[in-house]
Structure 1
């Protein structure tokens, strides 16, 4: 992770990495994801749910891991993947729903900077498989809110959360781009308003091996058929100090 990206992530709570995947990679993945969504029975059981099938190779994509090693833990064995799901929205679908933001002691949401490095708790990695136009339905953020001193998580203010408050920003990006953000930053879904294509995005929640936020929902058959190097991202929560005993 470049120093530029570290500073932007620390400053805003999120970064956008455009066109990480090549056009052909995007098309192959998109075709599979839509088949998984619309015709799951046409696939073998271990490919009917994410992260199974064509998506699996992206679990530890170099750009993803480069960022996670900088913001969760420098030891890749201490990074786990909590959940993976498809976000599909046609024109007019979706709703404004601000959440998170502000300092917290909850390890899943906490954002800290200590001894020259970031500790971001849960970190969302979003693969955008179609073009996203700024302020047309992509995920929205209040930049810097992951370090806010006022409790805007439990005590939200309508004047801050209003879409037209002037505090929110979004992004534009081509297909195959990455959006990576700390769960601590206040963020919101939005109504999809791009008339050219639906939103097809894959949301991944990475966390430290010490903690878990989501209840496990991925069928065991999906994980069992992953490559060993990918299975390890779904190990049960524990403290790595016991590996030394």
Structure 2
């Protein structure tokens, strides 16, 4: 990046709205390659372990310089991948599922708050747009400012029965980056666009956050997948999980 820290406007946007839109983060060739590999594999998940070079662009996104720069400031240095990447498209998204997130009741594993002059954003969803999303297309939606809410999300809003005029559907261009606090109410609505829907989703949390620790000795004994051996040191660091065997 050409500056040391996020601008006041970027900080304000994320703090107030619960999300940050970073246009043009990926180049056209990068977007084309990601789409090409997804089409070639015909799959929407498991890409970190795909064979050969098909997995490389997805691994590169774990430590994309722009993403790392933002996550170090929003989540904190030492952030880790908490949910493996997956493609969000019409075939994979269950739009009947209610929106998730919200600050009430507070979930410490995804909470957003300020304390003693320090920001704590325990988790974020990172969405890479691989196709354009125009106004009115549907797909991914969120409720701005809900990461600070003190009232539980009304059922009608979560299910889509009545959005109360609160729902925002971000417009994106292929290559854009959208960072959304996990405490922000968010989810999928039916796709109405003329083009193809394709978002690539990753979830990151702070280094000390464990949202799903597992049970019993499995967390200490479960070995790493074979494909971990091919990761760079930086990529491996992003997969660190406290309490799991050989993840340091």
Do the structures match in fold with TM over 0.5?
yes
* Counterpart position of 2:179: 180
CA distance change for structure 1 residues 166 and 121 in 2, over 3 Å: closer, same or farther?
A: same
CA distance change for structure 1 residues 184 and 32 in 2, over 3 Å: closer, same or farther?
A: same
Matched, 1:15 2:20: yes
CA distance in 1, matches of 2:33, 2:69: 24
Deviation at 1:92, TM superposition (A): 11
Deviation at 1:163, TM superposition (A): 5.1
* Counterpart position of 2:3: none
* Counterpart position of 2:100: 99
Deviations 1:87-122 (A, max 9, x none): 342499641521111245532221111344421111
CA distance in 1, matches of 2:170, 2:162: 15
Matched, 1:47 2:45: no
CA distance in 2, matches of 1:105, 1:38: 35
Unaligned runs of 5+ in 1: none
* Counterpart position of 1:166: 165
Instruction: Confirm or deny: 8 A CA contact 1:138 1:171 kept in the other structure.
Output: no
Deviation at 1:10, TM superposition (A): 0.7
* Counterpart position of 1:191: 190
CA distance in 1, matches of 2:92, 2:201: 20
Instruction: Confirm or deny: 8 A CA contact 1:92 1:192 kept in the other structure.
Output: no
CA distance in 2, matches of 1:111, 1:39: 29
Q: Which has the higher contact order (CA 8 A, sep 6+)?
A: 1
Aligned residue-pair number: 228
Deviations 1:190-229 (A, max 9, x none): 1111112x22211111011212225699971232211111
State which of 223, 227, 234 in structure 2 corresponds to 1:222.
227
Q: CA RMSD in A?
A: 3.1
Instruction: Confirm or deny: 8 A CA contact 1:125 1:178 kept in the other structure.
Output: yes
Deviations 1:159-208 (A, max 9, x none): 67545420111111110111101110111211111112x22211111011
Unaligned runs of 5+ in 2: 1-5
CA distance in 1, matches of 2:190, 2:166: 18
* Counterpart position of 2:40: 35
| Correspondences of 1:1-245 after superposition (within 5 Å) | 1-38=6-43, 46-48=49-51, 52-73=55-76, 76=77, 78-90=78-90, 94-96=94-96, 97-152=98-153, 156-158=154-156, 162=161, 164-196=163-195, 198-214=196-212, 220-237=225-242
CA distance change for structure 1 residues 105 and 99 in 2, over 3 Å: closer, same or farther?
A: closer
